[in-house]
Amino acid sequence: MKTREWAGLALTGLSALAMMAAIYAALVYAPTERVMGALQRIFYFHVPVAVVAFLSFGVSFVASIGYLARGGRRWDQVAYAAAEIGEVFASLVILTGMMWARAAWNTWWTWDPRLTTTLVLWLIYAGYLILRGSVEDEIRRARYSAVVAILGFLDVPVVFMAIRWWRTIHPVVFDSSGVNLEPAMLSAFLISLAAFVILYVALLLARVRQESLADEVEFLRRRVQ
Amino acid sequence: MSFLRTTWALVAKDLAVERRTRESLNVMFIFSVMVVVILNFAFELRVENVGQVAPGALWVAFAFAGVLGLNRSLARERENGCLEGLMLAPVDRNAIFVAKAAANLLFMAGAEAIVLPLFTVLFGVNVLRPDLLIVLLLGTLGLAAVGTLLAALAVHTRARDVLLPILLLPVSVPLLIAAAKATGGLLDGAGLAGVAGWLQLLGVYDAVFVAVSYLLFEYVLEE
Amino acid sequence: MAALRGVDLRLDEGDFLTLFGPNGAGKTTLIRILATLARPTAGHVRIGGLEVRQGTAEVRRWIGVVSHQTFLYGDLTAEENLLLYARLYGLPDARTRAAQALQRVALGHRASDPVRTLSRGMQQRVAIARAVLHGPKILLLDEPYSGLDQHAAASLTATLQEMASLGRTVLMATHDLEQGLQLASRVAILSGGRLAHEGRAAGLDAAGFRRLYMDVVEGGAA
C-alpha cells in the first residue's frame, strides 16, 4: 500500500483509540455532576461535536475562498467534503441538544441561541448540498457552492447575535470568570474534544480522497465513451 | 460608459419591462395577500390578540413574496441569454448587480406599499406609519441584495425556482428576526429609540451582506 | 475533461475564418472565451494586441457576437432592445442608429413590436442588428444559421458579406459546410478540443473539404 493509504489507516486507528479513551473518560472517569446527574455526561459529546461542526464549516469557508481565488479541483473537494461532514456533525449537535433538553427540562426544543444558530446553519448547508445536487457542470457547481458557503458562514455570527437578543436558556459552562468545571471534568472534556477532532481529520481526508477517486472514475468513463 | 449611467440604463430597462408586463408586481402583491389572509385564518382560531403576531406575519409575507419577485426578475435575464448580452457590453459588470438589486428593491418596495393598507384592514393593526418605513427599507434592502445574488445563481441550476427560498430564507434569518422585532416594538409604542438595537442589527446585516453580495456576484456571472 | 487543448490560433485583420467541428468539439467554448464570457484555465487571449482578461471593458467594444441565443428582452420592442444596447455601448444618436440598424435587416416596420411576437427568423435578424450596432471590428458567430428561415439566412449572409467587404475580422463556427465555405478566407477544424486542421480557404471545394473533414474528425479523435 502507498504511504498515503498507510497514513489514512493509521489515522483511522488513532481516532478509534482516541474515541475509546473519550468514551471511557466521559462515561466512567469524569465524576457525576451534582445538579443534573448522569445526564450531564451528554455534554462531553454535545460540545465537542458542536466545535467540530463549526470547525468544519469554517474549513469549508476557507476552502471556498481558496477556490474562488485560486481555482482548482482540490479546493472544491475540500469545501464540499467539509460542508458535508459539517452537516452530519451539525445534525448530531441538534439531536444531542434535543436529547439533553428533553431529559433536563422536559421539552424537545429550547430556542437557545447556540442551538438555534446551529439549526439555521444546518438549514444553510442543507441548501448547499441541494445546490450541489442541482448543477451538473463541475466548474459552475464548484463556483456556486463556494459563493453559498461563503455567504452562509459569514451569516453565522449575525444569526447568533440575532437569536441571542431573543432568548437564553442554555446552561453557561464557560463564562467570563473562567471554566466552572472540576479538573477531572475538564480533562474528560478535553480528551473528548481531541478525539472528535482526530476523528474529523480522518473523515475529512477520507472524504476528499473519495472525491478524487470519483473524479478519476468519471474521467476514465468519459474517455471510454 | 460611466457606472452610474450604466446602472441607470439597466434599472430603466427593468422598469420598462415591468411596466409592460406588470408580472413581478402582480405576482408579489397577490401572493402577499394570500399569505396574509392564510396567516390570519391560522392565528384567528387560537390567538387572542392577532395584533401580537402581526409583525411576524407581515415579514413572512414579504419574504415569500420577495422570493417570487426575485425569481421572476432573474428568470427574465436567463431567457435568450440576456444576462450574457449585458456581459458583452463594455460596462462594469458590477453595475449589473447594482442595477438588478436596485430594481428588485424597487419592485419589492412597490409590492409592500400595496400590501400595507390591506394588512391594516385584515389584521386590524395600523402599519401605515412613517417610523415603520425605516424598518421596511432596511429589511427590504438586505433581502434584495442577497436575494439578487442567490436568485442569479439559482436560475442557472436544474432546481431553478425551488432553490431560491431554500438558499435565501435561512441566510436571511437574522434580518427577518430583527425586522419583525423592530416592527413589533414600534407597533407597541417603543419608538425608534426603543428598537435601536434591532435597527442596528439590520444595519450591520445590510452593511455586511450588501457588500459581500456585490463582491460575489461576478463569480456567479462567470462561465 | 478539458473542453479545449492547446489551441493556438492567430487571426489577422480582415480574415474570415470558418471554424468547423462536430458537436462537443469545443467551438462554443472557444467563442465564449474570445467574447470574454469565459476565462481560459491556461493560456492567453490577445485582441488587437491587448491582453484580454474578463474584466477588460474596452476590448468588448471591438467585438460583436451572434449566437443561437438572441440576447434580446422578449417583452421589450425591437427598437427598445437596440436602444438599450446603444446606450450601453455609449453610442451617440442612439435612436437614429437603432432605427437604421433595423432598416438594414428589413425590420423597420416591426420596430415597435415586442420581440416576443416576432418569428425566430426575425428575432435572429434583430440579434444580428444588435451585434453590429456598435460597428465592431471583430464579429464572432456561433452556429448563426441554425434554425433560420431563408429570409433571415439571406440577411445574415448579406451582413457577413458587408463585414467582409469592410475589412472586418470574422470568426464563424458552424457545421454547415456549404455556408461556411462561401465567405471564408481561412478554414479550421476543431475536433475533440484540439485544432486538427488550419489553412487557406482559396481553392477548396465543398466535396473535397467534406472528405478532408471526415478524415480529420474520424481519424484524429482519440
Mean pLDDT of the B209-220 span: 95
Asked if the C-beta of B210 comes within 8 angstroms of chain A's C-beta atoms, the answer is no
Domain membership of residue A16 (yes or no) is no
- The per-residue pLDDT for range C48-94, each reduced to its tens digit, is 777 776 557 788 888 999 998 899 999 999 999 999 999 999 899 88
- Residue B36 has which C-alpha cell? 396574509
Give residue for cell 470568426.
C171
pLDDT at A129: 96
Whether residue C174 contacts residue C18, with contact meaning beta carbons closer than 8 Å, is answered with: yes
pTM beyond 0.95, yes or no:
no
Q: What angle do CA C142, C145, C151 make, to 5 degrees?
A: 145
Q: Which one-letter DSSP state was computed for residue A26?
A: I
Cβ count near C168 (within 10 Å): 21
Asked if the C-beta of B197 comes within 8 angstroms of chain A's C-beta atoms, the answer is yes
Rounded CA separation B122/B50 (Å):
10
- Residue C59 has which C-alpha cell? 476590448
Nearest chain C Cα distance for residue A83, angstroms: 25
Highest mean pLDDT among B20-24, B98-102, C89-93, C123-127: B98-102
CA C140 to chain centre: 3
pLDDT at A152: 93
Whether residue B156 contacts residue B163, with contact meaning beta carbons closer than 8 Å, is answered with: no
Rounded CA separation A92/A159 (Å):
20
Asked if the C-beta of C23 comes within 8 angstroms of chain A's C-beta atoms, the answer is no
Report, as ranges of residue numbers, the positions in chain A whose pLDDT lies below 50.
Answer: 168-170, 172-179
Whether residue C62 contacts residue C138, with contact meaning beta carbons closer than 8 Å, is answered with: yes
* Residue C219, pLDDT above cutoff 70: no
Chains that touch B (3 or more CB pairs under 8 A): A, C
Query: Whole-number mean pLDDT of chain C?
Result: 84
Cβ count near A222 (within 10 Å): 9
Answer yes or no: is the ipTM higher than 0.95. no
Domain membership of residue A111 (yes or no) is yes
What residues make up the domain containing A146?
A: 39-224
Nearest chain B Cα distance for residue C82, angstroms: 12
Domain membership of residue A19 (yes or no) is no
- The per-residue pLDDT for range A125-150, each reduced to its tens digit, is 999 999 999 998 888 999 999 999 99
Rounded CA separation A33/B163 (Å):
46
More confidently predicted of B183 and C9: B183
Asked if the C-beta of B134 comes within 8 angstroms of chain A's C-beta atoms, the answer is no
| Spatial CB neighbours of A80, under 8 Å, sequence gap ≥ 6 | A60, A132, A145, A211
Torsion angle defined by CA atoms of residues A42, A43, A45 and A48, in that order, rounded to the nearest 10 degrees: 170
* Residue C160, pLDDT above cutoff 90: no
pLDDT at B45: 58
Whether residue B73 contacts residue B11, with contact meaning beta carbons closer than 8 Å, is answered with: no
For residue B114, the one-letter residue type is I
Of B20, B81, B223, the CB nearest to C71: B81
Please tell me the least confidently modeled range out of B51-65, C89-103, C201-215. C201-215
pLDDT at C55: 52
Mean pLDDT of the B173-201 span: 90
Q: Is residue C51 exposed (0-12), middle (13-18) or buried (19+ Cβ within 10 Å)?
A: exposed
pLDDT at A31: 81
pLDDT at B137: 95
Asked if the C-beta of A212 comes within 8 angstroms of chain C's C-beta atoms, the answer is no
* Pairing mode of beta strands C16-20, C186-191: parallel
pLDDT at B223: 65
How confident is residue C42, by pLDDT bands cut at 50, 70 and 90?
confident
* Pairing mode of beta strands A178-179, C16-20: unpaired
How confident is residue C106, by pLDDT bands cut at 50, 70 and 90?
confident
Whether residue B143 contacts residue B175, with contact meaning beta carbons closer than 8 Å, is answered with: yes
Nearest chain C Cα distance for residue B90, angstroms: 4
- Whether residue C1 and residue A219 make contact (CB cut-off 8 A), yes or no, is yes
Q: Is residue B20 exposed (0-12), middle (13-18) or buried (19+ Cβ within 10 Å)?
A: middle
Domain membership of residue A44 (yes or no) is yes
Best residue in A135, A140, A158 for a mutation probing chain B (most B CBs within 10 Å): A158
Q: What angle do CA C187, C192, C195 make, to 5 degrees?
A: 35
Domain covering C1-62+136-222 assigned CATH 3.40.50.300 in the classification: yes
| Spatial CB neighbours of A11, under 8 Å, sequence gap ≥ 6 | A198, A201, A202, A205
pLDDT at A168: 43
- Chain A hits for B149, Cβ within 8 Å: 147, 151
pLDDT at C54: 56
Domain boundaries, chain C: 1-62+136-222, 73-131
In three-state form (DSSP H/G/I as H, E/B as E, the rest C), the secondary structure along B83-148 is: HHHHHHCCCCHHHHHHHHHHHHHHHHHHHHHHHHHHHHHHHCCCCCCHHHHHHHHHHHHHHHHHHH
pLDDT at C221: 47
Residue of C nearest to B75 (CA): C73
How confident is residue B1, by pLDDT bands cut at 50, 70 and 90?
low
pLDDT at A169: 38
A contact residues 104-143, partner C, Cβ 8 Å cutoff: 138
CA B48 to chain centre: 30
- Whether residue C37 and residue B13 make contact (CB cut-off 8 A), yes or no, is no
Q: What is the largest CA-CA distance in chain B?
A: 59
pLDDT at B219: 92
What is the secondary structure of C96-157 as a DSSP string?
HHHHHHHHHTT-GGGTTSBGGGS-HHHHHHHHHHHHHTT--SEEEEESTTTT--HHHHHHHH
Residue of C nearest to B11 (CA): C84
Domain membership of residue A123 (yes or no) is yes
pLDDT at A79: 97
Helix (H/G/I), strand (E/B), else coil: C63: strand
Domain membership of residue A31 (yes or no) is no
Cα dist from B100 to B73, B124, B148, whole Å? 8, 35, 7
How confident is residue B170, by pLDDT bands cut at 50, 70 and 90?
very high
- Percent of chain C past pLDDT 90, that is, above it, reads 22
CA C183 to chain centre: 13
Count Cα atoms within 13 angstroms, Cβ side, for B199: 17
- Chain C hits for A142, Cβ within 8 Å: none
pLDDT at A131: 96
- Domains in chain A, number: 1
For residue C202, the one-letter residue type is A
What is the secondary structure of C15-54 as a DSSP string?
-EEEEE--TTSSHHHHHHHHTTSS--SSS--EETTEEP-T
Of C39, C72, C73, the CB nearest to B223: C39
- Chain C hits for A140, Cβ within 8 Å: none
Please tell me the least confidently modeled range out of A197-201, B144-148, B154-158, C3-7. C3-7
Asked if the C-beta of B198 comes within 8 angstroms of chain A's C-beta atoms, the answer is yes
* Residue B20, pLDDT above cutoff 50: yes
Whether residue C171 contacts residue C185, with contact meaning beta carbons closer than 8 Å, is answered with: no
Among A60, A161, A85, which residue's Cα sits nearest to residue A117? A161
Whether residue C35 contacts residue C140, with contact meaning beta carbons closer than 8 Å, is answered with: yes
- The per-residue pLDDT for range B62-76, each reduced to its tens digit, is 999 999 999 999 999
Please tell me the least confidently modeled range out of A46-50, A86-90, B32-36, C6-10. C6-10
Please tell me the least confidently modeled range out of A105-119, B88-102, B177-191. A105-119
Nearest chain C Cα distance for residue B149, angstroms: 18
Angle between helix axes C78-88 and B3-21 (nearest 10 degrees) is 170
Give residue for cell 489553412.
C199
- Residue C166 has which C-alpha cell? 469592410
Helix (H/G/I), strand (E/B), else coil: A52: helix
Nearest chain C Cα distance for residue B74, angstroms: 12
Rounded CA separation B15/B22 (Å):
9
Using only C-alpha atoms, chain A has a radius of gyration, in whole angstroms, of 20
pLDDT at A177: 37
- Chain C hits for A138, Cβ within 8 Å: 1
Helix (H/G/I), strand (E/B), else coil: C194: strand
